Amino acid sequence: MIRDFSKIVDNYSIDMLVDFLDAINQTTDDYMYFWEFKTGRFWLNEKARNRFAIPDDGEGYCNISDILEIVHPKDVNGLREDARKLIHENKDTHNMEYRWIDKDGNCVWISCRGVVVKDQKNMPYGMFGRVSDTALKQYIDKRTGLFNKERMNERMSLIFDSEKKGHFLLLGIDNLKEINNTYGRKQGDIVIKQVADVLSEHASTPYTVFRLDGDYFCICSFVTDKDRIVSFYKNIQEDLKDVCTLSVGVVAYDDVEIKESVIIYQYAEQLMNAVKNNGKNSIAFYDKNAIGSANMGAVDELRESVANNCEGFYLVYQPQIKLGDTSVYGVEALLRYKSDKYGVKYPDEFIPILERTGMIRVVGLWVLEQAIKDCIEWRKKYPDFHVSINMSYEQLKDYKIAEKVLDIIDKYNFPGNALFIELTESMHLQDFVHYNEIFAKWKEVGIEIAVDDFGTGYSSLAYLSNLNIDEIKIDRCFVSEIQNSSYNYRLIKNITELARETNIRVCCEGVETADELNVLRGLEAELAQGYYFAKPMPKEDLDNYLLQNNM
Ligand code: C2E
Ligand code: CA
Ligand code: CA
């Protein structure tokens, strides 16, 4: 609730209020201000007046028109509109982010907030508040003064939440590398700044411009008409014709299934790269029906399946065996897809599509739920039974993944220590701090983390020492023919010894022969998995397998 400030205007002079604001100014980096509506008098503290070269009457006052002079021309109308509501429509607070121009001509994003003061007749008398040029600092790209990627992510979440319509534009400067190499990085920086300026120049209220990494810019727009976007692009092209060209990918907010900024960004990036590979300097719009042209039918079918509660997907399970006594430790859940049109499909064929389109995030949670339901059944007979699920990097990037997993195990009252999560592309987890935070949340309830396919890609023990994990799964290629490869033998021996010292369990994947198994027995690995014991099988077959194995 906004307090009634009429008493302040009544009992104290404005000068006292201003003195008070001036005193507060000693305690904050923000700039306090007071604006008297009737006279247009505007008081602003000295630090701000100096920084933005605002004239004053000797007492710290200027006129509101002096303030409008330093507001970025593109933002003046929005500000005027808000002022009209404050003065004439009883709006009682002001909260805007817009640009001021400092004394050197630099554009500075400020956050301005204020509260309206009423007079004795309860009419709007004025407004006091604060201007901050630091509140938005973390969101500003230093080189261009534009908002950065973090801000774009937040903006896209707001847009998706509000279900507003519009388009996401990803713009890449063509040949920035060559410009850097030929004319030097300084010239490259100048080009980036020129592009930023031209984009800002053309972007009015329905478009917001962001600078992402390197040579990428992005615009979140509320324009729904494609033709308008094309003419926007042509204007930019014209203004930049002596500077550089841009390749642009455009995606309508409505056209992405998973309403998240990383997903819409991925779609746009694919399109933009396609434009670059097709001669650059052009704009392409996402066409729901054309993406992944080679797999077009499959993508559509998967999309429909995901929308229908993952219809057509099912899980098979492969036992994980304790090397000590060859008893069954648990199972790994592996995903399959079956349809009338395509028959049974293996993960190699559909996981990349699910990842590219972000649908893996939905399917991945379905896998978790399904695996938990099945494991609950097994645990009735075998109370120590474990289930492992696979999780790719794309799923981990979901910023709510930690909570989503916890919610599902909560829903089924499933004991966390019966669940393993196998990370399939651990080399991407470079932001250790962030991922360890996720793992810590899981570990609190007992969930264990395994690194899958160890030894492939860029995974290494040194690298893993930063991640808080419980198990390493050594890839099949090192296990295969281990009896004939002294290199593989030494590798697994070293890994298992090191792992033991650090309390990490080792599971050897892809054991196919008794010879391989015999060698592994002599090493310190705890678990093994492979066709030698059992191939992945549907739940019913696994029930029988467990019975036959005297569990
Ligand atoms: P992975 O996690 O390394 O799974 C082991 C793969 O090796 C499975 O293939 C399994 O069938 C196969 N395999 C097991 N034992 C043997 C053996 O003795 N010899 C040989 N030649 N192969 C063996 P699959 O089921 O085709 O899965 C392939 C990959 O797809 C998995 O590799 C995993 O990275 C991914 N994947 C499977 N299900 C899921 C899922 O639900 N979510 C995610 N994100 N990825 C999954
Ligand atoms: Ca796995
Ligand atoms: Ca593996």
What is the sign, positive or negative, of the torsion defined by CA atoms of 11, 14, 16, 18? positive
485 CA distance to ligand 1 middle (Å): 24
Q: Report which of residues 456 and 195 the model is more confident about.
A: 195
Task: Tell which one of 316, 355, 387, 390 to mutate to probe ligand 1, the residue whose CB is within 8 A of the most ligand atoms.
Answer: 390
Torsion of CA 424, 428, 434, 440, to 10 degrees: 20
Which of 334, 378, 339, 434 lies closest to 547, judged by CA? 378
509 CA distance to ligand 1 middle (Å): 10
Structure-token pair, residue 418: 């019966």
539 CA distance to ligand 3 middle (Å): 20
pLDDT tens, residue by residue, 460-485? 666 677 888 999 999 998 898 888 88
Looking at residue 9, its pLDDT comes to 63
Report the alpha-carbon distance of residue 117 to residue 4 in Å, rounded.
7
Is 70 exceeded by the pLDDT of residue 131? yes
Report the alpha-carbon distance of residue 440 to residue 458 in Å, rounded.
24
452 CA distance to ligand 3 middle (Å): 5
Percentage, residues of the chain above pLDDT 70: 93
Looking at residue 17, its pLDDT comes to 82
Is 60 exceeded by the pLDDT of residue 295? no
Check if the beta carbon of residue 146 is closer than 8 Å to that of residue 200: yes
Is 80 exceeded by the pLDDT of residue 515? yes
Residue type (1 letter), 216: Y
Looking at residue 289, its pLDDT comes to 63
- Beta-strand relationship, 313-322 and 527-528: antiparallel
* Closest residue by CA, ligand 1 atom 34: 424
* Closest residue by CA, ligand 1 atom 29: 347
* Closest residue by CA, ligand 1 atom 35: 347
What's the pTM?
0.60
Is 70 exceeded by the pLDDT of residue 147? yes
How would you list the strands of the sheet with 207-211, edge to edge? 207-211, 216-221, 167-173, 246-252, 283-285
Check if the beta carbon of residue 301 is closer than 8 Å to that of residue 525: no
424 CA distance to ligand 2 middle (Å): 7
Closest atom of ligand 1 to 354 CA is 44
Pocket of ligand 1 (CB under 6 A): 318, 334-335, 346-347, 351, 360, 364, 367, 390-392, 422, 424, 452-453, 476, 509-512, 529-531, 536
- Radius of gyration for the chain, computed over Cα atoms and rounded to the nearest angstrom: 31
Looking at residue 6, its pLDDT comes to 56
83 CA distance to ligand 2 middle (Å): 59
The whole-number average pLDDT for the span 296-304 is: 78
Ligand nearest to the CA of 388: 2
Mean pLDDT of the chain: 89
Ligand nearest to the CA of 334: 1
Report the alpha-carbon distance of residue 244 to residue 233 in Å, rounded.
13
